[in-house]
Structure 1
Amino acid sequence: MKRVFSSVLTSIICALAGSQAALAVTYTLPPAGGRLIGQNQSYIVPDNGKNLESIAAKFNTSILLLLEANNTVDPYLPKPGSEVIIPSQMLLPDTPHEGIVINLAELRLYYYPPGQNRVEVYPIGIGQLGRETPEMVTRVSQKIPNPTWTPTANMRARSLAQGITLPAVVPAGPNNPLGRYALRLEQGGGEYLIHGTNVSRSVGMRVSSGCIRLRAADIKTLFSQTSWGTRVQIVNQPVKFSVEPDGRRYVEIHQPLSTSTADNPQTMPVAINAGFARFIDHPNSDKGQVDRALVRRAGYPVQVNKGASVSPSTALLQNVKRTENKKEISEGALISDSVNSSVQ
């Protein structure tokens, strides 16, 4: 997912219409030792005149991830009858399966309901360049329904420099930038919130002043399940990798977060820690496949077993749910059927 946008991509995203309401995607946790969850899907674009952002909202994913997986699709008006890959398969971040986990690099929030064998996954918006969301381990210190928004002195000064005078307080309601619900985090003196937004298209982008944004339906769901003291861990893991219990080896590479306007997230170095180095050097890993995934940085899992001969694009299509006759379901088509993904 792009972190520094070209003017063309920025204009595309900003021109897209507001998202539809969406709910979290829930996945069963993998077997012990595994990290792979979900199943990629294929969607047949209906003739309804809606754009790619509406499809992203329907499947509760990021518009930028859809653009990565479908780089020939028109984001303004996808062609009716064409197939769009929904990359809803992923590797869990390398963290405890507890509370709320936010991976900044992939613009996703994971929530592990206590005592349940499942995880809920939400797309998020995070802090923009220069006002980054920090990594931390903290907890929810306050639940705030119908929050008011009080811009900080720095926010007011930055806006004034742009010729915009912010009000001292924005009351609760549909025009409130915090949406209808907010979770205050303990660390940082309560400065950081997980909250809703009145600009749905900002979800899946780096746009906030450091807080974490969710779509309206998503923050409502998350708010209803969390309690005071819920553990929150924020990490920055652009590289995720796993050896599954059946021996399949996966890497999932996201573009690293840019730290300056001069950075190009598609080419800037990706940190390789000792664990990932050992994974790459293992006799069962195909270094060529790993290298291609590191260059592509597509944001979805790629199988890299030696001898599998799977390219990143083929790896995505291998894991798409399909039916033999591709029968359409409702307004679009979720193509479902199992695909042989055995390891050679």
Structure 2
Amino acid sequence: MKFKRILLSVSLLISSAYAQKHVEYIQPAKGDDVIGEIMYVTPKRHESLVDLTIRYEMGYEELKWANPGINAWMLSDTAPLVLPTQFILPAGKRSGIVSNIPEMRTYYFLKDSDKVYVYPVGVGRMDWKTPLGSWAITRKQENPAWYPPESIRKEHVEMGRGVLPKVVPAGPDNPLGTRVLRLALPSYLLHGTNEQTGIGMRVTHGCMRFYPQHIEHIYEMVPTNTMVTFLNEPVKYGFLGNDLLIEVHPPLEEDELSTAELQNNALALLEKYLEPYPESSVNYDMVKLAAQQQSGIPVIVGQKVASSRSQAPQVSQQADHQSLPVLISTEAETHSAPIYQEKVEQIIHQVPAKEAASITLQPKVNQKVPTNGELIIQQEIRLTPDPATIIVPESVPDEEVLFPEPSSYRFNY
């Protein structure tokens, strides 16, 4: 029998309606902590990562974390990218505005509502870091003038960028953009921008920088005296039903945490988080892997078991197959599918035909592959996948196909 080898990957489109925008979410049910769904997009030809962040109003670093190894200056128009649009809500009280510095993301919990709004933000650089704590919004201002402090004016000259005036009037040259939320903390603001390339990066002098449309959006909703909290939480845990999830972002550079230290911190935080659920099942290897990868993608690491008995969480000795819900939007319709936790990949093989069919891929298992329809392979989670190829019989209807260990694939015809 004649065979051909093919490398497999995703080929799908997200509807342009998606860009209308993933800002508003419904708060999860009581006991849950996860909102949103992972999505995918195929870049346009010659599109850069900066172009993509602006088109989908995402943060730059969060896209890099979720898609390691990509060429940021020339994205492939055949290899879809993960959009990290599923989040574990930050720990603590869900009220007011909460900005988590490591993930470069801001949450606004609308008062007397079940809605939460999520925005990527630019945050303070290592040498101009954003302070931690809570402060009230004292003033809202449209079309503000900017009075750069002497320290910033001096830096501007030292960097060879010329002399900043003492006052920059409102307009296209004003880096504060069109809206400002002033805090009880002097000199620290939530503001817009006159350029969009620094969103989701450590580029500010300590302030929170929003996309222009996002600052205008939150500005209209938030009243003065709303509390704004700045957190430093590179590791977050949360429940989705009975599933225990972890979301890990790279720690702040000035914290000087090694991978091993971050893993230890994640385990210590987990122990405290599970105190009300001492019989919960935990895959500690997956916890360590998530802390090593720091993808910013929520991944399942255990199961909640409520109990009044006092004992340590059970350790899962093997990486069980688990899945997370994700949303795949195409021009024609929307599919639900599981997500592959290690590589965060959805694999789509489109076979020209009239009817659609789907199967679930399980590693090292022979599957019947339909010759008609759109074949949607839903890849499941494994802890340590190995590189693999898929061997497909040539021109043999309903032939069994061996799917080895999952990895990154791409179909070539």
Displacement, 1:100? 0.7
Displacement, 1:82? 2.5
Higher relative contact order (CA 8 A, sep 6+): 1
Task: Find the aligned partners of 1:101 and 1:291 in 2 and give their Cα distance.
Answer: 27
Shifted more, 211-220 versus 160-169: the winner is 160-169
Displacement, 1:227? 1.3
Equivalent residue, structure 2, for 1:257: 252
SS in 2 for 1:218: helix
Equivalent residue, structure 1, for 2:331: 328
The structure 1 residue matched to 2:177, chosen from 176, 179, 197, is 179
SS in 2 for 1:223: helix
The correspondence of residues 201-240 of structure 1 with structure 2, limited to 5 A, is 201-240=197-236
Equivalent residue, structure 1, for 2:261: 269
Task: Find the aligned partners of 1:291 and 1:143 in 2 and give their Cα distance.
Answer: 43
Equivalent residue, structure 2, for 1:91: 88
CA contact (8 A) 2:34 2:239 kept: no
Q: Kindly report the root-mean-square deviation, in angstroms, between the aligned alpha carbons of the 2 structures.
A: 2.7
Give the letter for the 2:251 counterpart.
P
Go from structure 1 to structure 2 and tell me whether the alpha carbon gap of 1:98 and 1:45 turns closer, same or farther (over 3 Å shift).
same
SS in 2 for 1:178: coil
Corresponding position: 1:285 with 2:295? no
CA contact (8 A) 1:266 1:297 kept: no
CA contact (8 A) 1:148 1:169 kept: yes
The correspondence of residues 143-182 of structure 1 with structure 2, limited to 5 A, is 143-163=140-160, 164-182=162-180
Task: Find the aligned partners of 2:144 and 2:209 in 1 and give their Cα distance.
Answer: 14
Displacement, 1:199? 2.2
Equivalent residue, structure 2, for 1:44: 42
Displacement, 1:210? 0.9
SS in 2 for 1:202: coil
More strand per residue: 2
Equivalent residue, structure 1, for 2:53: 56
Task: Find the aligned partners of 1:129 and 1:70 in 2 and give their Cα distance.
Answer: 24
Give the letter for the 1:71 counterpart.
P
Give the letter for the 2:331 counterpart.
E
Corresponding position: 1:319 with 2:317? no
- Bigger Rg, structure 1 or 2: 2
Equivalent residue, structure 1, for 2:402: none
Go from structure 1 to structure 2 and tell me whether the alpha carbon gap of 1:24 and 1:84 turns closer, same or farther (over 3 Å shift).
closer
- What is the number of residues matched between the two proteins? 304
TM-score (norm 2): 0.67
CA contact (8 A) 1:42 1:320 kept: no
Equivalent residue, structure 2, for 1:196: 192
Displacement, 1:179? 0.5
Give the letter for the 2:261 counterpart.
P
SS in 2 for 1:339: strand
Task: Find the aligned partners of 1:83 and 1:231 in 2 and give their Cα distance.
Answer: 39
Task: Find the aligned partners of 1:310 and 1:200 in 2 and give their Cα distance.
Answer: 42
SS in 2 for 1:75: coil
Task: Find the aligned partners of 1:203 and 1:34 in 2 and give their Cα distance.
Answer: 29
Equivalent residue, structure 1, for 2:344: none
CA contact (8 A) 1:61 1:123 kept: yes
More helix per residue: 1
CA contact (8 A) 2:266 2:287 kept: no
Shifted more, 297-306 versus 134-143: the winner is 297-306
Displacement, 1:151? 0.9
Task: Find the aligned partners of 1:259 and 1:292 in 2 and give their Cα distance.
Answer: 23
Displacement, 1:308? 7.9
